[in-house]
Every structure is written in structure tokens, then in C-alpha cells.
Amino acid sequence: MSLDKVLNLIDESLSDSTERLFELLRIPSISTDPAYKKDCDQAADWLVADLKSIGVDAQKHPTPGHPMVVGHIGDKGPHVLFYGHYDVQPVDPLNLWDRDPFDPALEDTAKGKVIRARGSSDDKGQLMTFVEACRAWQTVHGEMPCRITFFFEGEEESGSPSLIPFMEQNKDMLTADIALICDTGLFADKTPAIVTMLRGLMGEEVTITGPDKDLHSGMYGGPARNPIRVLTKILGGLHDEQGRVTVPDFYAGVPELPAEIKEQWDNLKFENSEFLGEVGLSIPAGETDHTALEMIWSRPTGEINGIWGGYTGEGFKTVLPSKASAKVSFRLVGQQDPHAIRENFRKWVKAQVPADCTVEFTPHGASPASVMSTDHPAFEAARSALSDEWPDPAAFVGCGGSIPIAGYFKTLLDMDAMLIGFGRDDDQIHSPNEKYALESFHKGTRSWARILDAVSKLS
């Protein structure tokens, strides 16, 4: 089947594709706010109707929360599943928006035309790049180049409470050869990227209790144990002089970076000074024997996210607090076990707590890292297809954050996932004035057409 005709149609119909995206963006599908439940339902209905318009057997599936949309098309060739989410973040504070968040518009900026609206980048614009690529294939050829399952969620921005039960109950309906996820971005706004590593996350809240009440520092300062001193001393030892986490067995399961992946990353020419300079810093911290990019994408971390105790209001109060608390999180890679790390962290803290103090822990999530096997031929096929569309060759990259759905595809459906997105660092997702570059929408659609063509040729 001719790819050129599909790409030409995508170019010629960009204005129509943009208007369809605008229709979806006008629906305020804020999943976390019950006031927008009907809007989330409307967004699901809109997607079902749009998929049906290109011949997809699509249905809306109810859940205890917002509905899932699943559709199928094609009866030959490799089978791919495409995942996206139609729900969006709240828009507050509304006064910081330059226009109605749900009144999308094209705007000229110093970096080119952008689509301005909530959800334009995260994730409606990204989702529709794939749908529009499929529309072009169906219009030109009357069929898709391979078997495709569409899977659209409505609760991603509110913790996905219905996702795992739905996937467990519908394995036969969702299982494919490989999953495609469009909820990531370009590297440095110009290099197409396929995310193959996602860090896991484990969080823990620690509370040290000393005296049974707050004390006057003039009366008790010196002989009385100060929980803030205890806590800060413990947390001050969380890293050694080389920036490594000191919790016992923390690095069990951390793999070495493959040489070919390291070479790709080095070729990205990531500049520490530029990256840190954007946030007012200049000197990389962390593990001294790894580059900043390696630390973000392929190395684990231990970070103190918040700490409090005693009097923190206006003015001054000379108090020895009864309690001191902190929130600590660990980003995980490779085969690190979040539950083992939680247990080892607690033992490590307990061993340093004085006899006349107590410690309490409150867990906050525990998800392992996701590592996709690039041995699957679809990965190299997609990388080649992306390289044909964009000026810079595509690279396999890591992601410092966590995208749980990729791990769920592996653990629940035994499928690897390719995360390919066209967002940019300044898209302002989750913030006022979110935008999506029109070029990303256009070239993203062309990219998916190329990827479908490449994947369809795999045996």
C-alpha cells in the first residue's frame, strides 16, 4: 500500500484534522472533579463516534469511574494497541489563562503556530495524531495496514482507579503484539524519541517523636532530645560523598547502561549548563561517576521532598518540637524492588533513632521501573520511520518520571510498550495556557503513518 498517498492526504487535510481536534478540546473532560462527569462521558461518546466514522468497531465501556473506549479494526498483519487518555487536568487558576481553556485557537508565537487549550498536548492532541493517521490510511486504501486496537482511558489524570480492574477483566480484548503510547515528547523539542526506560517510584513519610509535648528551649534545650535534630541527622546521611544512596542493598537490581544506548544518548549532546541554567543552577549534583542525563533516565535516586517540625509561622517561637516529619521518595530503575527498598529504608532509619524517641512510617505508593526490550523488531522499525520524518535521527531514551500504564501492559498483558510522543518541554501541560505546536500535531500524524507502514511489514 502506498505510503506517499497517505502522507499527502495528511498534508492536504491538516485544517480538517485540526478542527476535529478542536471539537474534542471544547469538551471540558476534567476527570478529577465530579462536576465534569457528564463531560467525560461526552468525550468518550465523541471518540466512539469519530472512530466509527473511519470504520472502527468502537464501544464505550462503563467503569465505576469514567468510561473506557475500545475499538478494533483490521484483520491481517501484526496487531498493535494504541493507548491514550481523553481526560484532562483542572484549569485553576483560571485568571492566569489568556483565553478560555476550552475555547481552542491557533496562535502565532515566536516558535511557530500553536494550538492553545487545555488538553491540547496532554493528551488529546497526542491521541488524535494517531487517529488522524489511521483516518488517512482508511481514506486512501479502504483498510488499515495492520490490525489495530484503540484503548482510550478517562481517568489518567486522576490516578486511573478503574484501569487495572478493566485490563484484568478484558485481557482478550486488549492483548496485542505491542502497545503504542503517545503521552511523551520530543528530546530538546526537535529529536524524535522512543522511551524505553521509565523509572519506578516509592514514597515514604517519616515522623520522629521525642518529648510528649513541645518544650521551652530555655528550660529544656540541651538535655531534651530534639526530633528535628534526630531527623535531619538521619536524612543528612542518605547520600555519601559520591552522591550514592546509603540505604543497604539499594542498588540491587540496577543494570549497567548498554553501550549502544549510551552512545545514542551521548550523541544527543545534552548540555548540563543549559539544563541546569534554566532553573538557576549550574553544577550537577548526584552520582559523580554518571552524566546528568544518565542520572535522569537510568539511575535511581533518593530525595527529600518535604520536611517540617516545630514552629514555622510568622515571627519566632523558641520551641523544642515534640515531632518532626519528612517526605522521602525514591525513583527506581531496572529490577529494583520497591517493597524491599521500603523495608530496608525503614530498618536503616530505625537503627539510627535514639532509644528515647520513636518513629512512625506512612507509605506512599510503590511501583517498579519499566524497561522495554528493544529486541522486539517494532522498536527499530519505529526508530527508522521516525528518523525518516524528522530532521534529527530518532533515539531510544529514558524518562525520569513514571508512566504506570507502560508497566501494566507488561505485567498484566505481557506486552512491551513503545512510548512515542511529540510534546515539547514548554507545552505547559498541567499549567495555565497549555499549548501544542501545530508542527507537532502535523508531523506527529505523519510519523504514526510511517510507523504503521513500517510495523505492517514485520513478519
User: Looking at residues 16-39, what average pLDDT do you find?
Assistant: 98
Asked whether the beta carbons of 448 and 137 are under 8 A apart, the reply is no
Quote the pLDDT of residue 233.
98
Within 13 A of 1's CA, how many CA atoms are on the CB side? 22
- CA gap 67, 52 in Å, rounded: 17
Residue 401 has pLDDT above 90, yes or no: no
User: In the predicted model, is pLDDT for residue 31 greater than 90?
Assistant: yes
Q: What is the pLDDT of residues 151-196, one digit of tens each?
A: 999 999 998 999 999 999 999 999 999 999 999 999 988 899 999 9
Considering only CA atoms, which of 244, 213, 184, 118 is closest in space to residue 406? 184
Question: Could you give the 3-state DSSP secondary structure of residue 358?
Answer: strand
Burial of 211 (0-12, 13-18, 19+ CB in 10 A): middle
Do 88 and 122 touch, CB atoms closer than 8 A? yes
pLDDT of residue 404: 84
pLDDT given for residue 134 in this prediction: 98
Neighbours of 433 (CB within 10 A): 17
Rounded CA gap, 314 and 291, in Å? 41
Tell me the average pLDDT across 57-85.
97
> Which pLDDT does position 400 carry in this prediction?
87
Residue 93 banded pLDDT, cuts 50, 70, 90: very high
Give 242's pLDDT tier (boundaries 50, 70, 90): very high
Peptide bond into 4 cis (omega under 30): no
Q: With bands split at pLDDT 50, 70 and 90, how would you rate the model's confidence at 407?
A: confident
On the question of a cis peptide bond just before residue 211, with omega within 30 degrees of 0, the verdict is: no
The pLDDT-based confidence of 379 (bands split at 50, 70, 90) is very high
Query: Could you give the percent of the chain with pLDDT greater than 90?
Result: 92
Are the CB atoms for 192 and 394 separated by under 8 Å?
yes
Return all residues near 319 (Cβ < 8 A) that are at least 6 apart: 214, 215, 216, 217, 310, 311
Cell of 17: 484534522
pTM of this prediction? 0.86
Give the mean model confidence (pLDDT) for residues 412-430.
95
User: Any residues with CB less than 8 A from the CB of 427 and at least 6 apart, and which?
Assistant: 120, 121, 122, 185, 434, 435, 436, 437
* Mean pLDDT calculated for residue range 188-214: 94
Position 318 pLDDT exceeds 90: yes
Cα 237 to chain centroid distance, Å, stands at: 30
> What's the pLDDT band for 367 if we cut at 50, 70, 90?
confident
Q: Is the pLDDT of residue 48 over 80?
A: yes
Question: Is the distance from CB of 185 to CB of 179 less than 8 angstroms?
Answer: no
pLDDT for 262-271, tens place per residue?
Answer: 999 999 989 8
C-alpha cell at 218: 530555655
- Mean pLDDT computed over every residue of the chain: 96
